[in-house]
Structure 1
Amino acid sequence: MTTHAKPDVRPDCPHFSSGPTAKRPGFSLAKLESAALGRSHRSKDAKAKLKDAIERTKQVLDLPEGYRVAIVPASDTGAVEMCMWSMLGCRPVDVFAWESFGMGWVTDAQKQLKLDDCELYVGDYGVLPDFNKARDDADIVFTWNGTTSGVRVDDHSWIKPNPDRVVICDATSAIFAQDIPFEKLDVITYSWQKVLGGEAAHGMLILSPNAVKRLESHTPAWPVPKVFRMTKGGKLNEGIFEGSTINTPSMLCVEDYLQALDWVESLGGPKGLKARSDKSLKILEDWEAKTDWIEFLCADPKVRSNTGVCFTIADERVKSLDTDAQEAFVKKIVSLLESEDVAYDFNSYRDAPPGLRIWVGATVEPSDVEKLLPWLDWAFETVAADL
């Protein structure tokens, strides 16, 4: 018998997916009519929009002097891999991972590039690896915020200054939501589809002067695909960082990104977005503290993500089930709330432990997070009644 009655107030927006994420409040397709549609991306008007996207990114993020920005193919994945393929191999490399996407960079380093001197530091889901093992002379590859584990980096003191190495950071679900010390990073990557609620397929690449030095001084021992090439004649291809993209971008998506930056500025910049995510996380933390059937995958609040928040089922009846049965239980909760148009796509990532993953990046209204919680309690009790 359930103790929670079926709620009658639904979230105004049921989109709690971790990517692509909810569109920003007030979005409508009608607002994109100013996009340079049907134009060559090499045309004056289209290239001006691409350059505007690059320059405004520098301004909104307040990047250090001399950092370059480019729009590149294949989302955040493409941005990370083009730097791994182009920059690694001349020095030792340390790769840190604790969830699915970080493990992708482990695979690239170990099995694809087959780097000779490569140390891998892998943490379990919900736990960070030991960053203190980072070698001061080694290149570094790591993810700032683990989208599929709900764990983020909270301390960067382990990144020691060394102009002879590069530090590559996948920041896609952290940027615009968490404090990132850009000056300590040589490569920062993200996609529009995370905290900004943008569209997929485009990656943002930020390079420090040190990263440019590596590109111009290092020739990889392996072939570099065309979409990964950032140099021409041994020098940085500056055009890529001025709006001449490597491949054809969607000008509709570019327009959406420009308007997302308008929205960021209307909230006071990245700090305003971070405040929204922090507020939503606090709502979830207060709920979890008084709810006995669920618990955070990340037990340490200091490193808990404020964007992709991951939970496991704490109820002993569910924990006693095998993994397949636990996954089936979670799917029933997700399906039930999707059928009620309350919440979409909030199950845990396929490689993560069975549970829920609720996106609370800034495009999600904190008030919608509050409205979701009674539904979660009701859905759990409804599904658990059959155990």
Structure 2
Amino acid sequence: MKKHNFYAGPSILPDVTLKNTADAIFDFAGTGVSLLSISHRSKEFVAVMEEAQQLMKDLLNVPEGYSVLFLGGGASTQFAMIPYNLMGKKSAYLNTGAWSTKAIKEAKLFGEVEVVASSEDKNFTYIPKDFTIPEDADYFHITTNNTIYGTEIKTDLDSPVPLVADMSSDILSRPVDVSKYVLIYGGAQKNLAPAGVTFVIIRDDIVGKVDRPIPTMLNYKTHIDKGSMFNTPPVFAIYALLQTLRWVKELGGVEIMQQINQKKAAMLYDEIDRNSMFKGTVTNKEDRSLMNVCFVMNDGHEDKEKAFLEFATQKGMVGVKGHRSVGGFRASLYNALPIESVEALVTCMQEFEKNNR
């Protein structure tokens, strides 16, 4: 039976990424040496790093004056690195879910944090609007896509202060005006690569402005100056990331990727809205994530949650159980998920409705 991978992360990767990376484990770049055993200083891997950095710039039209970094530590380490490097006295945050909540907690270790708005009052099922960004903040931080709750900021905000964004789960899913941000970051294990590498797109002139001493490994300037090669980078994950970047470019870039993602998401949301057995948790359509579609059993059918999960599993659906903090169901429609998998899930939902009328 074909499996349809809806896991929220680590998540589905393109077949070509899996194949090429698996092959390189046995023979990397014709060296006769495994990717897992190659020196990060070898000319073959240096070429991988340089091509991956340039492809990220090309696909996202990154302007001059920005660096692309590939680091360890996950996005969670960035929660601390950002205020460590950028906050003098005050920062501002938009709280739209679990990850922004954790980022806020870390930022409070370094100074005053103003939460300009929060959607916690409705369990993070909407994106706050009409908030005011304080002009005395050193930066304003947003999380563009919220994997647990299924909301997404799909436009590049205008900010009177430097704008920072966690794009862990929607990077390369749509075009981004990078010039509006001083820093974009994220864990790669959603749309780019296996867990283990973190991407950072940073405007070079934003660093070096705080007075505090910064440990070497937590200082962005360290990694900018050394091109992400100050210490041993996550070689395996970066190689896989390069394969994914090549795949996106071959498809036609992020503009084409966005069209595909919009089609997949519309198909599933339309079925959720039509199907009498289910309802979406994000009711404002403009706030609905294209990457993580969250839904629950409709009123009067709550007792069938376990039955649907079992039915979906029998039909080959993998990873559709909602996050433990919210329950229900979640289908993650990342770039590499084929539209056939969405069609299979829709058919599964229709069959379940028919069987349970």
Q: Compared with structure 1, are the counterparts of its residues 378 and 85 closer, same or farther at alpha carbon in structure 2 (3 Å cutoff)?
A: farther
TM-score (norm 1): 0.80
- Rate the CA distance shift 1:374–1:186 in 2: closer, same or farther, 3 A: same
Secondary structure at 1:132's aligned position in 2? coil
The within-5 A match list for 1:203-352 is 203-209=198-204, 212-213=205-206, 215-220=207-212, 224-231=214-221, 237-239=224-226, 242-246=227-231, 248-318=232-302, 330-338=305-313, 340=314, 342-351=316-325
Q: Is the 8 A contact 2:60 2:176 kept in 1?
A: no
Greater relative contact order, per chain length (Cα 8 Å cut-off, separation 6+): 1
Identical columns (%): 20
Q: What runs of 5+ residues in structure 1 fail to find an aligned partner?
A: 1-9, 319-325
Shift of 1:114: 5.3
Q: Distance in 2 between matches of 1:122 and 1:72?
A: 30
Distance in 1, matches of 2:336 and 2:10, equals 11
Judge which range, 115-124 or 366-375, deviates more. 115-124
Distance 2:257 2:4 in 1: 19
1:217 aligns to what SS in structure 2?
Answer: coil
Counterpart in the other structure of 1:58: 57
1:76 matched to which residue of 2?
A: 75
How has the CA–CA distance of structure 1 residues 37 and 374 changed in structure 2, closer, same or farther, with 3 Å as cutoff? same
Cα gap change, 1:148 to 1:18, in 2 (>3 Å): same
CA contact under 8 A between 2:116 and 2:131: conserved in structure 1? Answer: no
TM-fit CA distance, 1:177: 1.1
Q: What residue in structure 2 maps to residue 17 of structure 1? A: 7
Q: Is the 8 A contact 2:297 2:328 kept in 1?
A: yes
Deviation at 1:268, TM superposition (A): 0.4
Q: Distance in 1 between matches of 2:330 and 2:217?
A: 32
Shift of 1:231: 3.3
Which residue pairs with 2:187 in the alignment? Answer: 191
Contact 2:273 2:280 in 1 (8 A): no
TM-score by length of 2: 0.87
Q: Matches of 1:57 and 1:302 in 2, distance apart?
A: 27
Is 1:172 matched up with 2:168?
yes
Shift of the 380–40 alpha-carbon distance from structure 1 to 2, 3 Å rule, reads: farther
The amino acid across from 1:281 in the alignment is: A
1:179/1:298 Cα in 2 relative to 1: closer, same or farther (>3 Å)? farther
Contact kept? 2:104, 2:113, Cα under 8 Å: no
Partner residue in 1 for 2:327: 354
CA contact (8 A) 1:79 1:204 kept: no
Greater shift in the superposed pair: 119-128 or 64-73: 119-128
Q: Which residue of 2 aligns with 1:85?
A: 84
**Contact 2:8/2:332 (8 A) holds in 1:** yes
Amino acid at match of 1:74: G
1:93-112 to 2 correspondence within 5 Å?
93-110=91-108
Q: Which amino acid aligns with 2:323?
A: Y
Show the 5 A alignment for 1:116-155. Answer: 116-119=112-115, 121-124=117-120, 125-130=124-129, 132-138=131-137, 139-155=139-155
Q: Provide the aligned length of Structure 1 versus Structure 2.
A: 344
Tell me the CA shift for residue 263 of structure 1: 0.5
- Greater Cα offset, 279-288 or 28-37: 28-37
Distance 1:367 1:122 in 2: 36
Separation in 2, partners of 1:40, 1:335: 46
Alignment partners' CA distance in 2, 1:200 and 1:259: 15
Q: Secondary structure at the match of 2:344?
A: helix
Match of 1:6 in 2: none
Instruction: Report which stretch shifted further, 71-80 or 265-274.
Output: 71-80
Alpha-carbon offset, residue 313 of structure 1? 2.1
List gaps (5 residues or longer) in structure 2: 30-34
SS at match of 2:131: helix
Q: CA RMSD in A?
A: 2.5
Determine the C-alpha separation between the residues in 2 that align with 1:316 and 1:276: 34
Q: Is the 8 A contact 1:174 1:307 kept in 2?
A: yes
The question of whether the paired residues in 2 share the 8 Å contact of 1:169 and 1:185 is answered with yes
Instruction: Please give the alpha-carbon distance, in whole angstroms, between the structure 2 residues aligned to 1:254 and 1:305.
Output: 27
The answer as to whether partners of 2:294 and 2:331 remain within 8 angstroms in 1 is yes
Map Cα deviations across residues 70-127 of structure 1 (whole Å, 9 max, x no partner).
0111223333432232212x142111122111211122223xx152353352213211
When residues 376 and 137 of structure 1 are mapped into structure 2, their CA distance, relative to the original with a 3 A threshold, is same
Are the equivalent residues in 2 in contact too, given 1:75–1:202 (CA < 8 A)? Answer: yes
Q: Distance in 2 between matches of 1:14 and 1:117?
A: 41
